Structure 1
Amino acid sequence: MEQTYCHLCPRHCNVNRTSGETGFCGAGARARVALVSLHRWEEPCLVGADGRGAGTVFFSHCNLRCCFCQNHEISHDGRGIDVTDERLAEIFLEQQARGAATLDLVTPTHFAPQILHALALAKARGFKLPVVWNSGAYETTALIDALAGSVDIYLPDLKYMDEASAREYSAAPDYFAAASAAIERMFAQTGPAQFAPDGQMTRGVLVRHLVLPGHRHESMRILDWLWEQFGDAIQVSLMNQYTPMYRVAEHRPLHRRLTTFEYENVVEHALDIGMTHCYTQERRAASEEYVPNFDGSGVTTQ
Structure 2
Amino acid sequence: MAEMPREYETCRLCPRACGAHRAEGARGACGATSTLRVARSALHFWEEPPVSGEAGSGAIFFSGCTLRCVFCQNAEISAGNFGIDVSVARLAQMMFELESQGALNINLVTPGHFAPQVVEAAKAARKAGLTVPILCNTGGYETVETVRLLAQVVDVWLTDFKYADPALARALSAAGDYPEVAAAALKEMLEITRSRGGRSLGEDGRMLRGIIVRHLVLPGHVDDSLAVLDRVWDICGNEADLSVMNQYTPNAACRERGGDLARALGDDEYEVVLDHADDLGFERMWWQQGGTVSESFVPAFDATGVEGPELAS
* Class of the TM-score when normalised by the shorter of the 2 chains: over 0.9
Work out the CA distance in 2 between the residues paired with 1:284 and 1:114: 39
Work out the CA distance in 2 between the residues paired with 1:227 and 1:134: 20
Match of 2:296 in 1: 289
Task: Give the root-mean-square deviation of aligned CA atoms.
Answer: 1.3
Match of 2:250 in 1: 244
Match of 1:110 in 2: 113
Q: What amino acid does structure 2 have at the position aligned with 1:228?
A: D
SS of residue paired to 1:37: strand
Match of 2:282 in 1: 275
Query: For the structure 1 residues 287 and 139, does the alpha-carbon distance in structure 2 shift closer, same or farther, using more than 3 Å as the test?
Result: closer
TM-score by length of 2: 0.93
User: 1:212 and 2:200 equivalent?
Assistant: no
* Partner deviation per Cα, 1:164-188 (whole Å, 9 max, x = no partner): 1111110001001111100100010
Aligned length: 300
* Partner deviation per Cα, 1:211-253 (whole Å, 9 max, x = no partner): 0001111111111111122111110100111011142132632
Match of 2:40 in 1: 35
Match of 2:72 in 1: 69
SS of residue paired to 2:176: coil
* Partner deviation per Cα, 1:68-121 (whole Å, 9 max, x = no partner): 000001001100001011111111111111110010000111111110111111
Q: CA deviation at 1:196?
A: 2.1
SS of residue paired to 2:227: helix
Q: What amino acid does structure 1 have at the position aligned with 2:303?
A: G
Q: CA deviation at 1:194?
A: 1.8
Aligned to 2:170, which of 149, 158, 167?
Answer: 167
1:69 touches 1:246 (CA, 8 Å); kept in 2? no
Work out the CA distance in 1 between the residues paired with 2:285 and 2:176: 27
1:237 touches 1:279 (CA, 8 Å); kept in 2? yes
TM-score by length of 1: 0.96
1:73-222 superposed matches below 5 A: 73-191=76-194, 192-222=198-228
Runs of 4 or more above 3 Å deviation: none
Q: What amino acid does structure 2 have at the position aligned with 1:104?
A: N
Work out the CA distance in 2 between the residues paired with 1:252 and 1:185: 36
User: 1:22 and 2:43 equivalent?
Assistant: no
Work out the CA distance in 1 between the residues paired with 2:73 and 2:269: 21
SS of residue paired to 1:133: strand
Work out the CA distance in 2 between the residues paired with 1:96 and 1:246: 36
Q: CA deviation at 1:122?
A: 1.1
State which drifts further: 181-190 or 2-11. Answer: 2-11
Q: CA deviation at 1:283?
A: 2.9
Q: What amino acid does structure 1 have at the position aligned with 2:230?
A: D
Work out the CA distance in 2 between the residues paired with 1:139 and 1:231: 21
Match of 1:299 in 2: 306
1:166 touches 1:173 (CA, 8 Å); kept in 2? yes
2:164 touches 2:224 (CA, 8 Å); kept in 1? yes
1:47 touches 1:54 (CA, 8 Å); kept in 2? yes
